[in-house]
Amino acid sequence: MKKKLINFIVTLIIAIILSQFLPWWHVMVAGFVSALFFSLDRAAVFFIPFLAVFLFWMTYALWLSNANDFILAEKIAVLLPLGGSWIVLLLVTGFIGGIAAGVSAILGKQCSMLVKR
Amino acid sequence: MKYFKLPLTLVLTLVVFTGLNSKFGSIPPMGKFLSPNEGFWQNEQDENLNSTMQIIGLEHEVTVHYDEHLIPHVFAQNNNDLYRAQGYLTAKHRLWQLEFQTFAAGGRLAEILGEQALDYDRQERRRGMDFGAENALQKMQEDPETLSYIEAYRDGVNSYINQLEPKDYPVEYKLLDYAPEPWTIKKTALLLMYMTKMLAGRESDLEHTNALAKFGKERYDLLFPDFYDVNDPVISKETDWRFIDVKMPETPEDDTSLDSISITETIDKPHAQNGSNNWAVSGKKSYSGHPILANDPHLSLNLPAIWYVMQLATPEHNSYGATLPGALGIISGYNNYISWGETNATRDVIDWYKIEFKDESRKEYKHDGQWKKTTQRIEEIKIRNRETLYDTIIYTHHGPVTYDHNFKGDNAKSGYAMQWVGHIGGNNQRTFLKLNEGKNYDDYLDALKSYTAPAQNFVFASTEGDIALWIQGKFPNKWKGQGKFLLDGSNPKHDWQSFIPQEFNAHSKNPERGFVSSANQHPVDPSYPFYVYNDGYETYRNRVINDFFRAKDKFDIQDFKNLQNNNYNLKASELLPNIFTTMDTSSLTEEEQGILNTIKKWDFYSEIDQLAPSIWKSWWTKLYKIVWDEFDADSLSLLTPYTYQTIYMLKNHPQDELMDILSTPEKETAKDLFLITFKETAKELAQWKAKHGDYNWGAYKATYVGHLLQALPAFSRFDLNIGGDYNTVNAASKNHGPSWRMIVEMTSPPTGYGIYPGGQSGNPGSKYYDNFIDRWAAGEYMDLLFMQDQQDTKDIIASQTLTPQE
């Protein structure tokens, strides 16, 4: 459990820091690096970084959008199309970021195993 | 197994990365687009207004005050700083539109949108858009003053672009996954060319040629007369033209080229409804003794709006009004001394020449009994994710051979060349720069003199009490009939011989009647010595406007507002009474009779809560189509007769053979058509009602303002409650209408009122994106804040300082 918490926190911190410098794929770097050093087992390899980034992107997006009454989020939710619901758009945003982080974490895990052997 | 896991996950990671980083069709790159740190979430904000910005090349500080509408009031110490700031601010609030419009102008959309825009791009290149812009740029560069200002504007735009990070790009860039490029002075020329196309790019010479061949001269003249039987021209009929003393070119005897055209499809024409109203009353006719001027250009209703409103001030001049992103200065507006506004002059400034090449190499063409050399212009059309296309376009002394065997034609040894005033080039930017600085009638006239295209009816009023209207543009002085039809490119007598001297352009200053006006109608009556024919002039708005001003002695601001929002449907009023007396109603069902009774009671005002305008619209659309079914059935490119003449035919030639419906064995006459289309209308409206409810005019017309990207529903506004239709003074049709309504009373300083269907911000995430639309639809105006002192910040919500970069 502790390992999961560490991985979660490390992923989150790396993602937040890198988001200031790197494009969208900062979450892939975060997932990869945290898995490299704090690797988990089985499904947790994917789901812990997924969860960390899911929450990070959702919160970040919510913070930006809330300050502007969701004007643009509602329009983008029409465009994509998600029925005009900014809540669904937030979930999709978190989901996309999460997938990217989770998949790169699996790669990180594989690389860490290579190093250990 | 475990040896496969690593490469497998590596591949998976790469797939996810690529999948989220790339655009698929119209789907944006989802990772990039949705990431809160660089995607669209970063656009979820209002403008940042309270900041100091450093701008390269500024000489002094520039102060920008924003009022509650986000209209910037710019105070600079000199013109260079002023236009630099205009460029900067336009980019700050309208960057994507600013750039996209010039891509559209120059035929570069395939770079952004890919192969789907290729046909459009080729067409624009073949229209000579880039060629014309280069010629215009050359003329602008010859004037050091204009050059220095368009360079300042360029630097201002680029100062803004250069400090952007990808996360700051307007949302459309993120959606389409591309980045802004540096602004160049050529882009200002392209934007002006775009306006020239929009307003002086409509003609139907090839269609007229086909119609003449099909119907013969007598019938053709009945359907397409040079003048209608009613005419209330821009420059009043009473004008004495005896001061014009130039020799008119003679019509060559062998002028008839009764060819029909071998192409079946012509290039896209600008919107038929592009037009405008403007008028001014003299002090004598004004409630306050000060002249009052009004302007409302009718264009496609788009978001971001075509206009961006600004106040532009230096210690020498101070002007206010609507700007066009990409062009400098105020285009329709006023300063402390004068006001000005434009409507389209709609004159024929495009002619087509049939070109005969010596052989398939097309290196020589026939002219004046000799073989003359052609030139080639190779257009490089970049296409996103595809190889660049090079289109070789042959040029003759007339202009580009638009149609040839590579483009909509089939003959390798002939083609059709386009001659267009738009290709000649001209420093049309100067006109607006000078109007911004103008102080009186002479300054206005000086500003106009060099103006070439698109020809406009420039209305004018001054605090000194003058009103005027000049129809200004560069007009070829044609022999009677020249250029109405295809011309012979080998015959030197068919060349444009000369241009109408500027001082002989039709105009009116302080006329006896106390007002000037224009609404895209015929510029003159037949007594004007130069050849002018009906090339699609509007025939309704002008009469309503002129009748309004003839009806009483004094006019106030409310009268002006009422007139701009006037929904009287003169067109309907000229046909419906005839229908009511001639149509045989004996076969109508009870329901149909009900609909007929509704429209019979109509007062001809196309108001939103009325049913009759919807009945009329549906009925007229069907009627017009069925009258001219002979045109649709023909495989040649043809133009159906204009509305006014259609109604004229229905009323005066009801038995004409064209009234017959080709697809039926019976011989129909006008009254049969009335009945047939009425029954169809009743059916259609019943269906509409079943689906949408009452077909009152507001709901039935469903006016919308569409985003520039094919009206992306998410960024557009639909179902606006606005009355009127194309032919009413309030020319609001479905997606077209008054794009900027302005009224100026020439007090000192002038008092202005204005509104437009959009908002100052180009960002769909801003509350200033579309905040004027509902007020515009309701016919309301903003009291324009014309600041006289930059210290007086009473109604200012934010201020920004632009400072020279160290």
Angle at the Cα of B677 from the Cα atoms of B672 and B678, rounded to 5 degrees: 95
Nearest to B16 among A19, A72, A99 (CB): A99
Nearest to A97 among B35, B175, B766 (CB): B35
Taking CA atoms, A83 is separated from A76, B43, B764, in Å, by 10, 20, 18
**Contact call for B6 and A111, based on CB within 8 A:** yes
Q: Which chain B residues touch A27 with a CB distance below 8 Å?
A: 35
B734 has pLDDT over 60: yes
Question: Which among A21, A40, A24 is positioned nearest to A8, based on CA atoms?
Answer: A40
Nearest to A104 among B5, B6, B13 (CB): B13
The structure tokens 């129909």 sit at B668
Question: Which among B734, B725, B675 is positioned nearest to B572, based on CA atoms?
Answer: B725
CB atoms closer than 10 angstroms to residue B402: 24
Distance from CA of A64 to the nearest CA of B (A): 7
B258 has pLDDT over 60: no
Compute the average pLDDT of residues B64-74. Answer: 97
Angle between helices B612-627 and B570-582 (to 10 degrees): 80
What is the C-alpha end-to-end distance of chain B, expressed in Å?
A: 63
Cα distance between residue B306 and residue B708, in whole Å: 10
By the 10 Å C-beta count (0-12 exposed, 13-18 middle, 19+ buried), B519 is classed as: buried
CB atoms closer than 10 angstroms to residue B134: 18
Cα distance between residue B613 and residue B598, in whole Å: 10
**Contact call for B36 and A72, based on CB within 8 A:** no
Distance from CA of A44 to the nearest CA of B (A): 16
Q: Is B297 on the interface with A (CB under 8 A)?
A: no
Question: Which among B337, B294, B292, B281 is positioned nearest to B462, based on CA atoms?
Answer: B337
**Contact call for B10 and A107, based on CB within 8 A:** yes
Find how far residue B580's CA is from the centre of its chain. 36
Q: Which chain B residues touch A64 with a CB distance below 8 Å?
A: 36, 41-42, 44-45
Tokens read off for B27: 């789907």
Question: Which among B439, B459, B448, B435 is positioned nearest to B748, based on CA atoms?
Answer: B439
Nearest to A72 among B6, B40, B712 (CB): B40
B1 has pLDDT over 60: no
Q: Is the model more confident about B259 or about B69?
A: B69
Chain B interface test: which of A71, A78, A115 (most B C-beta within 10 Å): A71
Per-residue DSSP letter, A109:
H
- Identify whether the C-beta of residue B477 lies closer than 8 Å to the C-beta of residue B218: no
B592 has pLDDT over 60: yes
Q: Is B710 on the interface with A (CB under 8 A)?
A: no
pLDDT of residue B321: 98
pLDDT band for position B685 (cuts 50, 70, 90): very high
Q: Which residue of B has its CA nearest to A70?
A: B44
**Contact call for A61 and B41, based on CB within 8 A:** yes
Compute the average pLDDT of residues A100-111. Answer: 92
Compute the average pLDDT of residues B464-477. Answer: 97
Nearest to B20 among A71, A100, A106 (CB): A100
Q: Is B691 on the interface with A (CB under 8 A)?
A: no
Cα distance between residue B442 and residue B208, in whole Å: 40
Q: Is the model more confident about A49 or about B256?
A: A49
pLDDT band for position B259 (cuts 50, 70, 90): low
**Contact call for B35 and A27, based on CB within 8 A:** yes
Cα distance between residue B527 and residue B507, in whole Å: 14
By mean pLDDT, which of B145-154, B239-248, B449-458 is the weakest? Answer: B239-248
pLDDT band for position B200 (cuts 50, 70, 90): confident
Compute the average pLDDT of residues B257-275. Answer: 75
DSSP secondary structure, B365-414, as one string: EEETTEEEE-EEEEEEEEETTEEEEEEEEEE-SS-BEEEBTTBB---TTE
Cα distance between residue A75 and residue A82, in whole Å: 10
B255 has pLDDT over 70: no
Cα distance between residue B560 and residue B277, in whole Å: 12
Tokens read off for B779: 């016919």
Taking CA atoms, B243 is separated from A45, B471, B529, B621, in Å, by 91, 17, 10, 45
Q: Which chain B residues touch A73 with a CB distance below 8 Å?
A: 41, 44
Asked whether the ipTM of the predicted complex exceeds the cut of 0.90, the reply is: yes
Run of H or E residues at B488: strand B487-488
Cα distance between residue B236 and residue B455, in whole Å: 19
Q: Which chain A residues touch B171 with a CB distance below 8 Å?
A: 72
Q: Which residue of B has its CA nearest to A101?
A: B13
**Contact call for A23 and B30, based on CB within 8 A:** no
pLDDT band for position B721 (cuts 50, 70, 90): very high
A93 has pLDDT over 70: yes
Distance from CA of B173 to the nearest CA of A (A): 14
Q: How many CB pairs under 8 A join A and B?
A: 115
Compute the average pLDDT of residues B570-581. Answer: 97
Run of H or E residues at B782: strand B782-783
The structure tokens 């930017």 sit at B429
Find how far residue A10's CA is from the centre of its chain. 12
Q: Is the model more confident about A50 or about B263?
A: A50
- Identify whether the C-beta of residue B304 lies closer than 8 Å to the C-beta of residue B762: yes
Angle between helices A26-37 and A86-116 (to 10 degrees): 40
B398 φ/ψ angles, rounded to the nearest 5 degrees: -75, -40
Spatial strand order of the sheet with B401-403 comes to: B401-403, B414-420, B350-356, B487-488
By mean pLDDT, which of A73-87, B3-17, B675-689, B756-770 is the weakest? Answer: B3-17
Cα distance between residue B782 and residue B785, in whole Å: 9
**Contact call for A114 and B38, based on CB within 8 A:** no
By the 10 Å C-beta count (0-12 exposed, 13-18 middle, 19+ buried), B49 is classed as: middle
Cα distance between residue A24 and residue B33, in whole Å: 8
**Contact call for A79 and B166, based on CB within 8 A:** no
For chain B, positions 745-804, list CB contacts with chain A under 8 A. 763-767
Run of H or E residues at B125: helix B118-126
Compute the average pLDDT of residues B472-491. Answer: 93
Residues 6+ apart with CB under 8 A from B332: B295, B297, B307, B321, B322, B340, B341, B342, B740, B742
Compute the average pLDDT of residues B89-99. Answer: 97
- Identify whether the C-beta of residue B391 lies closer than 8 Å to the C-beta of residue B404: no
Chain A interface test: which of B37, B47, B771 (most A C-beta within 10 Å): B37
Percent of chain B's residues with pLDDT above 70? 98
A117 has pLDDT over 70: no
Taking CA atoms, B69 is separated from B310, B753, B760, in Å, by 11, 13, 7
**Cα pseudo-dihedral A3, A7, A9, A12, rounded to 10:** -170
pLDDT of residue B268: 86
What is residue B247's three-state secondary structure? coil
Distance from CA of B41 to the nearest CA of A (A): 6
Question: Which among B79, B136, B77 is positioned nearest to B102, based on CA atoms?
Answer: B136
Q: Is B546 on the interface with A (CB under 8 A)?
A: no
pLDDT of residue B681: 97
Compute the average pLDDT of residues A75-98. Answer: 95
**Contact call for B9 and A106, based on CB within 8 A:** yes
Whether the upstream peptide bond of residue B297 has omega within 30° of 0, thus cis, is no
**Contact call for A96 and B31, based on CB within 8 A:** yes
pLDDT band for position B256 (cuts 50, 70, 90): low
Question: Which among B622, B613, B601 is positioned nearest to B679, based on CA atoms?
Answer: B622
Q: Is B715 on the interface with A (CB under 8 A)?
A: yes
**Contact call for A67 and B10, based on CB within 8 A:** no
B498 has pLDDT over 90: yes
Cα distance between residue B589 and residue B592, in whole Å: 5
What is the C-alpha end-to-end distance of chain A, expressed in Å?
A: 25
Nearest to A75 among B10, B39, B715 (CB): B715
Q: Is B111 on the interface with A (CB under 8 A)?
A: no
pLDDT band for position B53 (cuts 50, 70, 90): confident
Tokens read off for B148: 């220095």
Cα distance between residue B293 and residue B290, in whole Å: 10
Angle at the Cα of B487 from the Cα atoms of B483 and B488, rounded to 5 degrees: 155
pLDDT tens per residue, range B402-451: 998 888 888 888 999 999 999 999 999 999 999 999 999 999 999 999 99
Cα distance between residue B430 and residue B434, in whole Å: 6
By mean pLDDT, which of B217-221, B358-362, B632-636 is the weakest? Answer: B632-636
Strand partners, B705: B717
Tokens read off for A96: 């996309």
Q: Is B714 on the interface with A (CB under 8 A)?
A: yes
- Identify whether the C-beta of residue B575 lies closer than 8 Å to the C-beta of residue B312: no
Run of H or E residues at A113: helix A86-116
Q: Which chain B residues touch A12 with a CB distance below 8 Å?
A: none
pLDDT tens per residue, range B308-323: 999 999 999 999 999 9
Tokens read off for B77: 């110490």
**Contact call for A68 and B5, based on CB within 8 A:** no
Q: Show the domain range for A43.
A: 2-116
Distance from CA of B110 to the nearest CA of A (A): 22
Compute the average pLDDT of residues B758-775. Answer: 96
Tokens read off for B523: 């510029």
**Cα pseudo-dihedral B606, B608, B614, B616, rounded to 10:** -10
pLDDT tens per residue, range B282-305: 999 999 999 999 999 999 999 999
Compute the average pLDDT of residues A43-48. Answer: 91
Nearest to A24 among B12, B35, B44 (CB): B35
DSSP secondary structure, B607-644, as one string: -TT-SHHHHHHHHHHHHHHHHTHHHHHSSS---PPPHH
Q: Which chain A residues touch B41 with a CB distance below 8 Å?
A: 60-61, 64-65, 72-73, 93
- Count CA atoms closer than 13 A to B94's CA, side-chain side: 30
Q: Which chain B residues touch A26 with a CB distance below 8 Å?
A: 37
Q: Which chain B residues touch A110 with a CB distance below 8 Å?
A: 5-6, 9-10
pLDDT of residue B181: 98
Distance from CA of A3 to the nearest CA of B (A): 22
Structural domains of chain A, count: 1
B100 has pLDDT over 80: yes
Angle at the Cα of A40 from the Cα atoms of A39 and A42, rounded to 5 degrees: 135
